[in-house]
Amino acid sequence: MAVMAGWTRLWHGPSLPGWWAAQRVESRPAARVRRDARADRVRALVAGGATVTAAAAQVGVDPSGAYRYLRPESRAAPEEEHMPTLESGDLTGLPDLSGHRVLVPGGTGAVGEGVVRTFLAAGADVLVPTRSPQRLAEFREVLSDAATDRLHLVVHDYTTFAGAADLAEQMVTRLGGIDDVVAPIGGWWAGRTLAEIDEADWQGAFLALATTHMAVLRACLPRMSGRGAYSLVVGDSATTPVPGSGLVSIEQAALLMMQRVAAAEADGRTGRDRRRVVALVLGPVRTRQVESGDASWVSAEQVGAVAVEMAAGAASADQLHLGGRDKADEVLSRLRASRTADAAVAR
Ligand SMILES: NC(=O)c1ccc[n+]([C@@H]2O[C@H](COP(=O)([O-])OP(=O)(O)OC[C@H]3O[C@@H](n4cnc5c(N)ncnc54)[C@H](OP(=O)(O)O)[C@@H]3O)[C@@H](O)[C@H]2O)c1
């Protein structure tokens, strides 16, 4: 793909020349959260036990503004236990996605990394927009050798309707289309009860993230080729109320309904309009941000592998629950079996 190679060089150039560089790079201020109060709340939640999900326990927001997850001591895995790293994750048995053009907004994040690695391993072309040049450089370093010339990392503000529409349009123009979207946008927020939140919290932890998801979905769905899938990534907090993190629960619940409406609107359509929209509902995830993680958690690469299967197969699904490693393996086996059976029928 000669055109792609030139394009890749353009994007990867240090000065990001051309159209992409002209885009406004903006890092939205995260909702104001006090680190100490958050840590105290994590301890209180974990100590409270039963009703607090493991996902809820991974609370944190780093002072630089990016949402972060922390693993409380009480969930620490035994030190001697072998923990698979992202690099040693099982990326075998993936379907061949050569030629698939995949957009991963939020791909620079903890879950996004696994998604990006897995789609690259499956042979797809992967476009990852990020709002900051610094994140771009860091992410290239994180990926290291996995950052092949099929990875297209660009600086682009995709958090507004106009920005997301520009991104989708540029992807169609430059990559020739959009086959799949995986959206692990946004992270965790905690620190205040609903009665304590202020408008900045609401704007940052709820509205900014919900708006970004809506902007990307409305921009991409009509432009998707019809051969892939749109996978929204959310957490268990969408259905489990988490005291002190209500804005996350409210935002994630809104995303689940966004998925259901989009799926209902595509129902019964054919060809290009047959858009498969699915929500991947995660429990706590083993990522680069939790040094070891718990062996029973789903890994970021398993999340990627499920999204890859959704892209490769024809399965329709509303919500795939990936609450832990075993659950994710089950879902993966089911999707693989369904794809294999479809292929056998087609032969
Ligand atoms: N990590 C877990 O254990 C876990 C568990 C359950 C569910 N989830 C779900 O998985 C998704 C991704 O989580 P994550 O842990 O990967 O988060 P993360 O590490 O904070 O990454 C999220 C990415 O979203 C992008 N983003 C766009 N707008 C944002 C905004 N306003 N605020 C913050 N980030 C923004 C950022 O990309 P750029 O800055 O590069 O643009 C960032 O890299 C979320 O929906 C989360 O609920 C995660």
**Taking a C-beta distance cutoff of 8 angstroms, is the pair 114, 304 a contact?**
yes
Closest atom of ligand 1 to 136 CA is 40
Taking the CB of residue 78, how many other CB atoms lie within 10 A of it?
Answer: 9
| CB of 135 closer than 6 angstroms to any ligand 1 atom | yes
Cα Rg of the chain, angstroms = 19
Q: What is the pLDDT of residue 12?
A: 32
**Taking a C-beta distance cutoff of 8 angstroms, is the pair 256, 239 a contact?**
yes
In the predicted model, is pLDDT for residue 23 greater than 90? no
In the predicted model, is pLDDT for residue 58 greater than 80? no
| CB of 280 closer than 6 angstroms to any ligand 1 atom | no
Q: What is the pLDDT of residue 196?
A: 97
In the predicted model, is pLDDT for residue 149 greater than 90? yes
| CB of 235 closer than 6 angstroms to any ligand 1 atom | yes
| CB of 156 closer than 6 angstroms to any ligand 1 atom | no
**Taking a C-beta distance cutoff of 8 angstroms, is the pair 181, 103 a contact?**
yes
Both tokens of residue 2?
Answer: 């000669």
Our mutation pick for probing the ligand 1 site, out of 61, 111, 207, counting the most ligand atoms within 8 A of Cβ, is 111
User: Which protein residue's CA is at the shortest distance from atom 29 of ligand 1?
Assistant: 186
Our mutation pick for probing the ligand 1 site, out of 157, 185, 290, counting the most ligand atoms within 8 A of Cβ, is 185
| CB of 139 closer than 6 angstroms to any ligand 1 atom | no
Is 252 buried (19+), middle (13-18) or exposed (0-12) by CB count in 10 A? buried
What average pLDDT does range 105-112 have in this prediction? 98
Greater confidence, 119 or 290?
Answer: 119
- When the pLDDT of each residue in the chain is averaged and rounded to a whole number, the result is 79
Which residues is 323 bridged to in the sheet?
none
Closest atom of ligand 1 to 111 CA is 16
| CB of 293 closer than 6 angstroms to any ligand 1 atom | no
Give the residue from 19, 48, 111 showing the smallest Cα distance to 244: 48
Q: Kindly give, in sequence order, each residue whose CB lies less than 8 Å from that of residue 209, ignoring residues fewer than 6 positions away.
A: 185, 186, 251
Taking the CB of residue 5, how many other CB atoms lie within 10 A of it?
Answer: 10
Coil/strand/helix, residue 319: strand
Q: What is the pLDDT of residue 90?
A: 61
CA distance 278 to 234: 10
Q: What is the pLDDT of residues 28-39, one digit of tens each?
A: 233 323 333 333
| Least confident stretch, 67-76, 103-112, 133-142, 152-161 | 67-76
Is 59 buried (19+), middle (13-18) or exposed (0-12) by CB count in 10 A? buried
Q: What is the pLDDT of residue 291?
A: 65
Which residues is 181 bridged to in the sheet?
103, 230
| CB of 208 closer than 6 angstroms to any ligand 1 atom | yes
For the ranges 67-76, 227-236, 315-324, the one whose mean pLDDT is highest: 227-236
Both tokens of residue 99?
Answer: 């030629």
CA distance 130 to 184: 12
Domain 2-14+98-346 has CATH 1.20.1280.50: no
Domain spans of the chain, in order of start? 2-14+98-346, 28-77
CA distance 208 to 224: 24
**Taking a C-beta distance cutoff of 8 angstroms, is the pair 231, 308 a contact?**
no
- Give the Å distances, CA to CA, from 310 to 22, 216, 249, 333, 345: 34, 19, 25, 12, 18
**Taking a C-beta distance cutoff of 8 angstroms, is the pair 111, 282 a contact?**
yes
In angstroms, what is the span from residue 31 Cα to ligand 1's centroid?
Answer: 14
Q: What is the pLDDT of residues 247-286, one digit of tens each?
A: 999 999 999 999 999 999 988 787 777 789 999 999 999 9
| CB of 304 closer than 6 angstroms to any ligand 1 atom | no
In angstroms, what is the span from residue 43 Cα to ligand 1's centroid?
Answer: 22
User: Using 50, 70 and 90 to split pLDDT, how confident is the model at 89?
Assistant: low
Q: What percent of the chain has pLDDT over 90?
A: 64
CA distance 324 to 243: 22
Alpha-carbon torsion, ordered 186, 190, 192, 197, to 10 deg: -10
Q: What is the pLDDT of residue 43?
A: 29
Q: What is the pLDDT of residue 269?
A: 80
CA distance 204 to 189: 9
**Taking a C-beta distance cutoff of 8 angstroms, is the pair 61, 33 a contact?**
yes
Coil/strand/helix, residue 174: helix
User: Which protein residue's CA is at the shortest distance from atom 30 of ligand 1?
Assistant: 186
Q: What is the pLDDT of residue 274?
A: 77
Closest atom of ligand 1 to 67 CA is 20
- Residue type at 239? T
Both tokens of residue 147?
Answer: 């950052």
